[in-house]
Amino acid sequence: MSVSVLPATSLLADIGGTNARFALARQDPVEPLLMESVREFAVADFPSLSDAARHYLDTTGATAQNGVFAVAGRVDGDEARITNHPWVISATRTCQALGLDSVRLVNDFAAQAMGASLLQPKDVVPVGGVGWNGHDGQDRTFAIIGAGTGLGVGGLLRRDGRHYALQTEGGHVGFAPNSPEEIEILQRMSGEFGRVSNERLVSGQGLVNVHRALSAIAGEDPGPLKPSDITARAKEGDERALRTVDVFCAVFGAAAGDLVLTLGAWDGVFLAGGLVPKLLPQIAHSAFRQRFEYKGRFSPTMARIPTLAVVHPQPGLLGAAALAQTGA
């Protein structure tokens, strides 16, 4: 279906380790993302971002003046490398290849953060007993953490009526075990990876890593598995798969709480990433919130902070649209 008739000014992209999502944005402070323009492709099907973007433009008939591309990796000047995929992206070369006036590269969780600035209460599901009434126009500090192909981390500041996104690689913070079982998991993973970050546990591949570690502790070899195998087995009641998801949720909660302390994000945490909607029932009924709050002398403070699972279908593209809107 052609989208060329839509009043677009910007080409948007949300590039992860598995999927590339494209859309168009218009100048609208409330609803800048044109949802009907969204398309998704597997990154493995294209040699570069330029090729994927050209395919989107050609198949939809869309046109745009500039681009805002959110990428799952560190942006260093004109260049970005996808952490969990071999694409290397140059803003200059991409701009030339697509015939755009400008291309801006941003970290994917900077986009997630800016997307959070446009979220409404209907776009989130509170995890735990603390609700959220939406943005109130006051100065606020939020954290963003999300599990998907990797573990993304960012922040959102509202100051004097403007929003500012914090770009980080906080998913690569070292994993801190908090139980004898987690210490054993760390020991197993250290033998495999050396240094163990939170992303090694809280991500799609993290599910596989945790399951493999638990199997090794039990003296068993589970063979090759995909994240979807583990979630499917958990739904069927498989004990080790269920325990894997429990560990995932607990470490996710602990990491989210640590992020609040690090950023001073006393106004709340948005839980993003592709795995969150898929595992939301498990997260809601796990030790996630307990480990989030379990911060020693700060536990009473943590108990008052909302943790909000994002269920908006395209929060990364929404954030890219917000960045295109503001030029921030």
d(CA 101, CA 88): 21
CA-based torsion, 111, 71, 274, 316: positive or negative: positive
d(CA 328, CA 324): 8
Cβ contacts of 219-227, under 8 Å, gap ≥ 24: 227/275
Binding positions:
13-18
Amino acid at 284: A
Task: Record the tokens describing residue 114, joined without a space.
Answer: 């800016």
CA angle 200, 206, 209 (to 5 degrees): 90
Using the CB atoms, write b or e for 100-136: b if 16+ within 10 Å: beebbbbbbbbbbbbbbbbbeeebbbbbbebebeebe
3-state DSSP call for residue 149? Answer: coil
CA atoms within 13 A on the CB side of 22: 25
Binding positions for ATP:
13-18
